[in-house]
Amino acid sequence: MRRREFVTLIGGAVVSSTTAQLLIAQEGGRTYRLGGLYLTQRASPQYPALFDELQRLGFVEGQNLLVDGHGYGLRADQLAEHASEVVKAQIDVILCAGDAAIRAAQQVTKTIPILAVTDDMVGSGLVRSLAKPDGNTTGVNADRIAARARQAAVQPQRRRAAI
């Protein structure tokens, strides 16, 4: 599997399981390296869901997926230093949450894919557009994820109303 396909798969897992239906054949014997820049702890609710989805797709931490465990619970003043460490470790993808983390990653690499979640990627100037972000940064707006979650919760009610 090429890096672009891995990034696509990780991105799908971040967004939701419905967009992660691209089951791409894995390169035998390859270990994928996932770096991260997070202000929140790994015990936060979103991370177990991410790793459960990755495991469902065949990426199992400790087997064919190495996860940078030092990237969680960082203070804002630690982001730049840790971003440099992640790049030196030659990881495959950097996952970031929040504008400050994304900017720290963008400042240290123009080649490693950065998959980001924040409130407004375009409005914050992190990418030019979501459709064509340019560079090595892509991701989703957190408000769209919340809207999808609300929509999923309302769907059963709409179905009943239509009947």
Whether the pLDDT of residue 55 is over 60: the answer is yes
**Cα torsion 9, 119, 45, 100: sign:** positive
Reported confidence tier of residue 162, pLDDT bands at 50, 70, 90: low
CATH fold for the domain made of 3-162:
Rossmann fold (3.40.50)
Reported confidence tier of residue 111, pLDDT bands at 50, 70, 90: very high
Q: What pLDDT score does 43 carry?
A: 83
Reported confidence tier of residue 70, pLDDT bands at 50, 70, 90: very high
Among residues 105, 124, 101, 121, which one has the least CA distance to residue 113?
105
Whether the pLDDT of residue 20 is over 90: the answer is no
Phi-psi region of 116 (alpha: psi -120 to 50; beta: other; left: phi over 0): beta
| One-character DSSP codes across 83-134 | HHHHHHTT-SEEEEESHHHHHHHHHH-SSS-EEEEES-TTTTTS-S-SSS--
Whether the pLDDT of residue 5 is over 70: the answer is no
Domain ranges of the chain: 3-162
Within a 13 Å sphere around the CA of 97, how many CA atoms are in the beta-carbon half?
18
- What mean pLDDT do residues 85-109 have? 94
Q: What pLDDT score does 22 carry?
A: 31
